[in-house]
A and B are shown apart, each in its own frame.
Chain A
Amino acid sequence: MIVVTGASKGLGRAICDRLIEKGIEVFGLARNFDGVPFASMGCDVSSYERVKGVAQHLKKKGVKVTGLVNAAGIASMNLAVTTPQSVAQKIIHTNLLGTIYCCQLIAPLMLRHKQGSIINFSTIAVALGLKGESIYAASKAGVEGFTRSFAREMADFNVRVNCIAPGPIDTSLLKGITTEQINKIVSQQIIPRQFKPDSIADLVELLIDSRSDSLSGQVLHVGGA
C-alpha cells in the first residue's frame, strides 16, 4: 500500500488516481477527506500527534506499507517582508515539518520488511530562487536537504527517498498567480513548457517501481532547472 498525503486535491489526488488506475492500493491522508473515493483518513500533517495516530492505525491493521508520497503542501506567494508570522509558520509547519513527521513516523512501517520508496515534494522555486516565494522556497529547500540525508539513513533498510521538484503545474496551488507570472517561471525551465499533473504521476509511478532501484537521495526537476 502507498500512503499519499494531500490526497484530496491537486497533485496528491492526481497521484492517487493514477496509482489506483494502475491497480496499486492507496491510503490517502488529507485535512478534509469528504468525498474522497478511496481508503483515506483525516490528517493534518503539521500535527505530529495526528501523523503518529495514522502510523499507529496502519500498524494495528497490519497493512504492508511499501511507499509514502508526501504531496501535502501549501504555498503563499508574497515578499518575505510582507508575510505575516502566522503564514510563515504555517508554511514551514506544513511543508517542512509535515514532510519530516510523515517520514519519521511512517518509514518504520517500511523498515520492518526492508523495502520501500518515499517521495517528497519540492519546487522549482528552490533552484530558481524565485522572487516572492522566499518562505515557500525555504520550506522546500529544507525538504530537499532532509531528503538527501534521510535517503542515506534509510539506505541500509532498502528504502529509497527521492524528491520531485515541479515547476508550476496546473493545480489549485497556483490560485492567485497570473498566467504571465506562470509563463515567466516556465520560460526559465530547461524544457520551457507547463507540465500537467500527469507528468508528476508518471514520475511517482517510476519512483515507486523497482525500475528505479538505483535512485535515492535525488531531486528530480520537472521541466529541468
Chain B
Amino acid sequence: MLTNHAIVSQIYTEVSRLIEDPSQEVSGDTPLLGGDSLLDSMKLVELCLTLEDKASEWGFEFDWTSDAAMSKSRSMFRTAGSLAAEFISQMEAKK
C-alpha cells in the first residue's frame, strides 16, 4: 500500500505532467484555480479524470463533484496541496 507521502508525490507528478513546463516545480502551494493557475480548465478536468482512475486502482472512488469542490474558500482545487489532501481524505474515509 502506498504511503500518503507517495500519493501526494504522484498527484504532484500528474499536475507537473499536465503543466508541460519542466521549469515549473509543483508543490503544495501550486495554485490550480484562478489567474495564477498554470492549468487551464481542460487540464484541470483531465487531472480529475486521472485521479479518478488512480482512485479506482487503489480501491475507492474519487468524487470531484462534491460541494467542497466548488466552494471558493475551501475548494479542493485551490492548490495542488489541497487537492492531494482531499484525495487522501476521501481515500481514508472509504477504508
Contacts and interface: CB of A to CB of B under 8 A. Distances in A.
A, B co-complexed: yes
Interface of A: 52, 56, 104-105, 108, 111-112, 153, 156-157
B61 A156 contact: no
B65 A112 contact: no
B1 interface: no
- Please report whether the interface of chain B is mostly helix, strand, loop or mixed according to DSSP: helix
Contacts of A52: 65
Given A56-B61, A111-B49, 7 more contacts: A108-B45, A108-B49, A108-B52, A112-B49, A156-B41, A156-B42, A157-B45
A3 to B, nearest CB: 17
A153 B42 CA distance: 8
11 contacts: A52-B65, A56-B61, A108-B45, A108-B48, A108-B49, A108-B52, A111-B49, A153-B41, A156-B41, A156-B42, A157-B45
Contacts of B42: 156-157
Interface in B19-77: 41-42, 45, 48-49, 52, 61, 65
Contacts of A56: 61
A52 B61 CA distance: 12
B65 A104 contact: yes
Nearest to B43: A156
A99 to B, nearest CB: 16
A157 B48 CA distance: 14
B55 to A, nearest CB: 11
Contacts of A157: 42, 45
A111 B44 CA distance: 12
A112 B49 CA distance: 7
